[in-house]
Structure 1
Amino acid sequence: MNTSMLTLSIELPQPPVIGKVSHHSIALSWINEDRKRQDGPPECWTSFSVEQMDTKTDTCKTIYIGYGTHHIAEGLKPSTSYSFRLRVTKPSGEGYLSPAVSVFTTREPFSGRNLHQAVNREDVKGLTIVLQSGMVNVNVHDKMGFTPLMVAAQKGFTSLVEILVKHGADINMRDSAGKDSLMLACYAGHLETVKYLRQCGASWQSQDMDGCTPLHWAVDGGHQPVITYMIQEGCEVDVRDKVSLWTPLMHVSAISGDAAVASILLQAGADVNVRDKAGKTPLMVAVLNNHEELVKLLLDSGADHHIKNEYGAGAADMAKAFERENIMNLLE
């Protein structure tokens, strides 16, 4: 009995040797003790097959058959246990089966998608883990062209903004339209985020593709606390964009008509009679957009309704052309 057991142990091949393991593959190798016989015809060669075992169903499938001494199992799931055994078939037809060997695939490596998911979920712990792995560029863009810092700034996740900046996030990076993180935070009205980005060196003078500055974007968003803070911190009130030469006050006249926002700008010294590329004033633009309350505020703040644009039309002419009787009464 002992002799039989000894013979069996000698005949049993060693299990496959585990080589490089990734999240989707496992390298396997083994020794061909009959390599010298492969100088002869194939029918004299020892063949090998690798079987992958499924412990749940107690079944196995053959993933390799041949005369080689290595194979890479691919298409595997990350963080999953796999078992393999080697079947050795001698030229005589005798077959021997090795014991099984088990190994776990590694976890899937972190990607930019993981980084953006952590930001969108406001997951401080998850974000920190991804960044500390060193696998992902902190400035990686998402499908919309936003970096993680841009997303965090737009959402007002100041704690995440701090983490990203400390891990090297570039506060000056821009999206396809030229907007940086400060502009996004200003437009969304996240005062604490705006303050932090300023502490990190973000500039009030930065411009997007159209030449709009953070103040233009804060005005478009209508966020009075942010606008007030920006002005207190020395932000230029009458800065112009590059397309129409509009100041932030012109933006109010054209877009929102928000008299409260316009009042902050005027009190800070905004030029009520500034003229754009076509010679229009904030008053003319407010008239064209039927912002009655803003028209009244501009007139009370010294707007000159006698000014003409480059085509010789004034605010009253525009009100008349669009039959804005309520505004015509104010102008008279």
Structure 2
Amino acid sequence: MKKLCTFWKRKDEPHSPSSHLGIDPAGTRTFADPGCNLRDKDLKKLHTAAAVGDLEKVKEYLQLKKYDVNIRDRKYRTPLHLACTYGYSNVVSLLIEKQCKINVWDSENSSPLIKAVQFEKEACATILLDQGGDPNLVDLDGNTALHYAVCGQSVSLVRKLLEHNANLEAQNKDGYTPLLLAITENNAEMVEFLLKIGADVNASDKNQRTGLMIALGNEPSSLVSLLLQREVDLSCQDIDGFTAEEYASFNGFTM
């Protein structure tokens, strides 16, 4: 008899941006705190100034050559990482003017662009993209900036990333494409947008689950109808041999 565990979310998944999202007491999903202790004695003064948006202090430290513009903290973050995390676009512009490196990684392999997108700092992300920020760099879990963007609510940010050649079909370590992540997040607006611009409706994760299987496995919703309007291959099977129709049957849903 086929195992039914396929229908439930596996304990080790996903290595996705959704793991960086918190839940407030009311049950509403919120973006996690950036996690930077600004009183940390190991944090350089330039990093602190960038993180709190103190433009004049940043200018002073750079003009006096007290710190290199690309100096790292103990988590291997540059001042640009912190300015993007906290959304200070004026500091971002200044650091770029001072020839900081844009496509750099911290200890989690996150680029400044990934941090800006992760915390929905669209103005910072726009500056980085216009100045050569690479939208296809990946973090330790294989997520690109686009993976983070589809977990948010800004379709305009997703569009900007795609306009700068973000890979629409990039897969993270769990095999999730941006579309599969949007389905996992039950983000109907984002799913509809991604489908309209040509995202592969039959893409599958590392467990060979398609978006339709994921939608049915979580709980039948409007996403199922949305996906069925596309050219969905109902013959696809997951790693345990289940088809989408079997997912539907298990959940009492008729396709």
User: What interval of TM-score do these two structures reach, taking the shorter chain for normalisation?
Assistant: 0.7 to 0.9
- 1:218 — aligned with what? 149
Q: Is the 8 A contact 1:186 1:214 kept in 2?
A: yes
- 1:162 — aligned with what? 93
SS, match of residue 45 in structure 2: helix
Taking a change above 3 Å as real, the CA distance of residues 142 and 288 of structure 1, as seen in their structure-2 partners, is: farther
Identical positions, percent: 28
Taking a change above 3 Å as real, the CA distance of residues 288 and 146 of structure 1, as seen in their structure-2 partners, is: farther
Do residues 132 (structure 1) and 98 (structure 2) align?
A: no
- 1:314 — aligned with what? 243
- How far is the alpha carbon of 1:143 from its aligned partner? 4.8
- How far is the alpha carbon of 1:213 from its aligned partner? 1.4
CA distance in 2, matches of 1:169, 1:304: 47
- 2:26 — aligned with what? none
- How far is the alpha carbon of 1:268 from its aligned partner? 0.8
Superposition map of 1:9-28 within 5 A: none
Do residues 115 (structure 1) and 78 (structure 2) align?
A: no
- How far is the alpha carbon of 1:144 from its aligned partner? 4.3
> In the alignment, which of 145, 163, 175 is matched to residue 232 of structure 1?
163
> In the alignment, which of 255, 264, 267 is matched to residue 196 of structure 2?
267
Over aligned residues, Cα RMSD in angstroms? 2.1
- How far is the alpha carbon of 1:223 from its aligned partner? 2.1
CA distance in 2, matches of 1:265, 1:216: 12
CA distance in 2, matches of 1:317, 1:156: 45
Q: Is the 8 A contact 1:252 1:258 kept in 2?
A: yes
SS, match of residue 125 in structure 1: helix
- How far is the alpha carbon of 1:149 from its aligned partner? 0.5
**Counterpart residue identity of residue 197, structure 1:** L
CA distance in 2, matches of 1:114, 1:120: 10
> In the alignment, which of 161, 174, 180 is matched to residue 250 of structure 1?
180
CA deviation profile, 1:266-305 (whole Å, cap 9, x unmatched): 1110010112232211111122222612222111233333
CA distance in 2, matches of 1:121, 1:309: 47
Q: Normalization by structure 1: what TM-score?
A: 0.59
**Counterpart residue identity of residue 57, structure 2:** G
5+ long unaligned stretches in structure 1: 1-110
Q: Is the 8 A contact 1:179 1:207 kept in 2?
A: yes
> In the alignment, which of 180, 183, 186 is matched to residue 111 of structure 2?
180
Number of matched residues?
214
Structure showing greater relative contact order (alpha-carbon pairs closer than 8 Å, 6 or more residues apart): 2
- 1:190 — aligned with what? 121
CA distance in 1, matches of 2:165, 2:227: 23
Do residues 283 (structure 1) and 212 (structure 2) align?
A: yes
Segment drifting more, 183-192 vs 280-289:
183-192
Q: Is the 8 A contact 1:253 1:291 kept in 2?
A: no
Q: Is the 8 A contact 1:122 1:157 kept in 2?
A: yes
- 1:294 — aligned with what? 223
> In the alignment, which of 186, 208, 220 is matched to residue 139 of structure 2?
208
| Structure with more strand by fraction | 1
Taking a change above 3 Å as real, the CA distance of residues 176 and 290 of structure 1, as seen in their structure-2 partners, is: farther
**Runs (4+) off by over 3 Å:** 141-145
CA deviation profile, 1:99-131 (whole Å, cap 9, x unmatched): xxxxxxxxxxxx953212212221111111111
CA distance in 1, matches of 2:106, 2:174: 22
User: Bigger radius of gyration, 1 or 2?
Assistant: 1
Q: Is the 8 A contact 2:195 2:201 kept in 1?
A: yes
Q: Is the 8 A contact 2:43 2:74 kept in 1?
A: no
**Counterpart residue identity of residue 135, structure 2:** W
CA deviation profile, 1:209-253 (whole Å, cap 9, x unmatched): 222211112112332110122223333211222x22221111112
- 1:303 — aligned with what? 232
5+ long unaligned stretches in structure 2: 1-41
